[in-house]
Amino acid sequence: METFAVGAGLCADAQAQQVWKPNWISGQPVHHPAANAAVSLQPLADQVRQIETALNYLGQPLSQADQSGINSALEGDNERTAVAELQRILDRYVLTTVTINPESRVEVERGAAAPLLVEGGTRLFLVKVLNQAGVTAALKVESPNNKPVYVSAWKDSSPRPKEHITRDEIRDRWAEISLYQKRPLTNRLSGLAVEYALLEIYSRDAGQRSAQIGFNVGQGTQDIGFRNYVRILFTAAPARIVQLHVKDFDGSPTMASFLIRDKWKRIYPNQAKRLAPDFFFEPQVYRGDGETIRLPEGTYEITCTGGVEYLAETRALQVDQSDPHPLDFQLRRWIHPAKQNWYSGDHHLHAAGCSHYVTPTEGVDPAVMMRQVEGEHLNVGCVLNWAPCYYHQRQFFTGQDNPLSKPDTLLHYDLEISGFPSSHCGHLVLLGLKEQNYPGATQIEDWPTWDLPVLQWARAQGAVVGYAHSGWGLAVKSTDLPNYEIPPFDGIGANEYIVDITHPNTVDFMSAGDTPPVWELNIWYHTLNAGFRPRISGETDFPCITDKRVGQGRVYAKVDGPLTYRKWLDSLRQGRSYMSDGKSHLTDFAVNGVEAKDHDGEVALSKPGTVRVTVTAAAYLDPVPKTDIREKAYDEEPYWDLERARTGSGRTVPVEVVLNGHAVAKKALVADGSLQNLQFEVPVEESGWLALRILPSSHTNPLFLVVGGRPMRPVRQSVEWCLASVDQCWSQKAPQISGKEIAAAKKAYDHARETYKGLLN
């Protein structure tokens, strides 16, 4: 196995030049009397998988060989052998072994992992817990070497008492040592005889540093004779400052995404201890032209991109004792929709709650969110305040674009009705609000307990409104589109939508892109088949449904002239837009030359006949298929991804014409990034709606065919589905609607029933 010298160039003594094996492992076996303690395989295996998941999430995975070894052990027939093998593999990563004796006394011994750290960064180690007492209390770590916290003032600017600390204490308190106890891990022991915890150690300094590390499971559990702690001599590799020069495709300075890994696939900066503007839950970081990043000496692989509209560039970097040369990156686009006035946006982003850290109810400020939007080159980022952060984040709502906005990059704060009393009926996205406080409501609890009043209030002030993460509560077993299975309507997606759409000028759009496409599209298709004209829009719900990046689901809206938030919203409302994962595009969709901006999207036909459908399409797939995505079920993330649309192992995807919910024509599109003009000839017998899709990657909004001046005849099966769905929705929502509002809600549901019954006639 390859070895490397840690500490070279820092000091000359032999101990600093000792050779360690990579990936935390010292190569020096540490024998413990209970190294392979007896434990049942199933709970141990479950715990090992949690550790694997956490390490992958935090960017410091086990070696590929050890991951394969774990898989092989779990596939074996001998449970005892598997238990021993799992412990043998993980014990190589253990910095300390904690033994809790039957009297709940804690003893700590040194483990096998190499005590290697990095200046200004965090390393992760395992702690092995031999729990002879079956304790389920929280495992706690303590060290006199933990860094002091320096604070100058409270947020209200009143004086804050400073910590008095001596120079010697400053020197000794060089580390931040803590246990990672967030999901998928917990802050309490399970009581299993053997389990593993995750230890984070941050080093302020480079070179050799000594630390005392102790553990306990509550007051009085420390063993006597100084046995509940160990002293460990660490060596921290020095970090160097690397400057990044980033230019867009046209040579202008820009922001980009950087994914940085060392040769053992560890991610930098280490995710475990990142602070804003870097997020610990994202493997990448965002850096602008002239900004820097700190890296210890070593070899790295750096991948730079501007988001899904760009090609990624990967290059190697060697950081040594000399000052690193600046890195120059020139981004390359494979497509540029904004050049043709198709502006991308993600209408569902959050600055607090979910994966956000620090104080979830406060979150991060607009500058941090702007960096995310710029790094993925979105033209519009809608940051939605919601209940978990409402009282703090509402200070950033002005009804205008945030001052950080740029001509082609708008940051705008609006509102999601999530965590409000009506949330059980479905979460709402309210865009373009002038006022975010509901009339008469002084706190969240005062808001309505069902959706229709909120939609009508927002719509009255000119907002563009719709439902978030539409598929939740609409799960079905069928994979057909459309299908006629009645969903449970027991979630927070487009549930009460089935009622609200029957009330004129109430619902503008449904969201798609962040829940399973069959669940989203089925209810949309049925309401279109009933004769209603809601639009579809793309969203991410970052960082709640996904925290990988903003713009994973997005909408492209056509805007005439300079981009403004109002014009972008109006295009969304008019259906002059398409939703996409950003990897495929369907622009300038027209039927007989009529686009969404013309005649309210209506295509007049004097009689039945054949229509000409045209579109400019483009898509980009890597030449090598990504089987890990293709093999997933449609209700597993990522729900929308062009890879799922790939035909065989080639590089083509199908573009389909959808007429009244059914695919009636199809052509192959080569997903090489080129713009291709497609044309279809489609027979039309009667009035209806027509759209295009690359499923599950992109979907246009519909155009409405009017044959002989007659309106669309509702599709009976779809209307029957809608009528039955109103009853199912009422059964789930009525119990949570307040007594003072239940009569009005019943009247609205009855209106929906009568509307659908009328359509059946």
Domain count, the chain: 3
| H/E element, 657 | strand 652-659
Do 643 and 671 share a domain, yes or no? yes
Do 60 and 125 share a domain, yes or no? yes
Worst-scoring range by mean pLDDT, 4-8, 88-92, 461-465, 720-724?
4-8
Do 185 and 256 share a domain, yes or no? no
pLDDT at 20: 32
Last residue of a domain, which of 193, 220, 236? Answer: 236
401-415 exposure pattern, b = at least 16 Cβ within 10 A, e = fewer: bbebbeeebbbbbbb
271-285 exposure pattern, b = at least 16 Cβ within 10 A, e = fewer: bbbbebbbbbbbbbb
Q: CB atoms < 10 A from the CB of 736, how many?
A: 13
Residue 501 · residue 455 · CB < 8 Å: no
Do 90 and 200 share a domain, yes or no? yes
Q: Which of 269, 273, 272 is nearest to 296 (CA)?
A: 269
How far, in Å, CA of 559 to CA of 282, rounded?
A: 32
Q: Look up residue 228 and give its amino acid.
A: N
Instruction: Tally DSSP H helices, then E strands, for the chain.
Output: 13, 39
Domain that holds residue 102: 4-152+167-236
Last residue of a domain, which of 269, 295, 329? Answer: 329
Do 210 and 246 share a domain, yes or no? no
Do 206 and 313 share a domain, yes or no? no
Q: Which CATH number is 292's domain given?
A: 2.60.40
Q: Is residue 377 part of a domain?
A: no
- In tens, the pLDDT along 159-200 reads 333 445 677 778 889 999 999 998 889 989 999 999 999 999
For 117, list phi and psi in degrees, rounded to 5.
-125, -175
Residue 359 has pLDDT above 80, yes or no: no
Q: Which of 560, 440, 569, 573 is nearest to 508 (CA)?
A: 573
- In tens, the pLDDT along 43-80 reads 999 999 999 999 998 989 999 999 999 999 999 889 99
Q: Is residue 481 part of a domain?
A: no
How far, in Å, CA of 750 to CA of 502, rounded?
A: 11
Once rounded to an integer, what is the mean pLDDT over residues 581-589?
Answer: 98
Name the pLDDT band for 225 (thresholds 50, 70, 90).
low
How far, in Å, CA of 63 to CA of 554, rounded?
A: 35
Do 78 and 65 share a domain, yes or no? yes
Last residue of a domain, which of 329, 349, 380? Answer: 329
Do 143 and 269 share a domain, yes or no? no
Q: Which of 546, 504, 497, 547 is nearest to 520 (CA)?
A: 497
How far, in Å, CA of 330 to CA of 334, rounded?
A: 13
Do 67 and 93 share a domain, yes or no? yes
Residue 547 Cα distances to 170, 278, 579, 605, 728, angstroms: 37, 13, 19, 46, 32
pLDDT at 360: 61
Q: Is residue 494 part of a domain?
A: no
pLDDT at 533: 97
pLDDT at 36: 56
- Model confidence, pTM: 0.85
Name the pLDDT band for 356 (thresholds 50, 70, 90).
confident
pLDDT at 38: 78
Residue 612 has pLDDT above 60, yes or no: yes
- Provide the 3-class DSSP secondary structure of residue 238: coil
Q: Is residue 630 part of a domain?
A: yes
Residue 25 has pLDDT above 70, yes or no: no
- In tens, the pLDDT along 99-143 reads 999 988 999 999 999 999 999 888 999 999 999 999 999 999 999
Do 173 and 276 share a domain, yes or no? no
Do 256 and 194 share a domain, yes or no? no
Q: Is residue 21 part of a domain?
A: yes
Residue 760 · residue 717 · CB < 8 Å: no
- In tens, the pLDDT along 381-418 reads 999 999 989 999 999 999 999 999 999 999 999 999 99
pLDDT at 163: 46
The chain-wide mean pLDDT, for the chain, equals 90
Q: Is residue 702 part of a domain?
A: yes
Q: Look up residue 435 and give its amino acid.
A: E
Worst-scoring range by mean pLDDT, 23-37, 93-107, 155-169, 726-740?
23-37
Residue 470 · residue 494 · CB < 8 Å: yes
Once rounded to an integer, what is the mean pLDDT over residues 15-20?
Answer: 30
Q: Is residue 488 part of a domain?
A: no
Q: Is residue 542 part of a domain?
A: no
pLDDT at 315: 94
Positive or negative torsion for Cα 108, 113, 119, 121: negative
How far, in Å, CA of 489 to CA of 207, rounded?
A: 59
- Provide the 3-class DSSP secondary structure of residue 757: helix
Do 119 and 229 share a domain, yes or no? yes
Worst-scoring range by mean pLDDT, 70-74, 361-365, 458-462, 668-672?
361-365
Once rounded to an integer, what is the mean pLDDT over residues 263-291?
Answer: 91
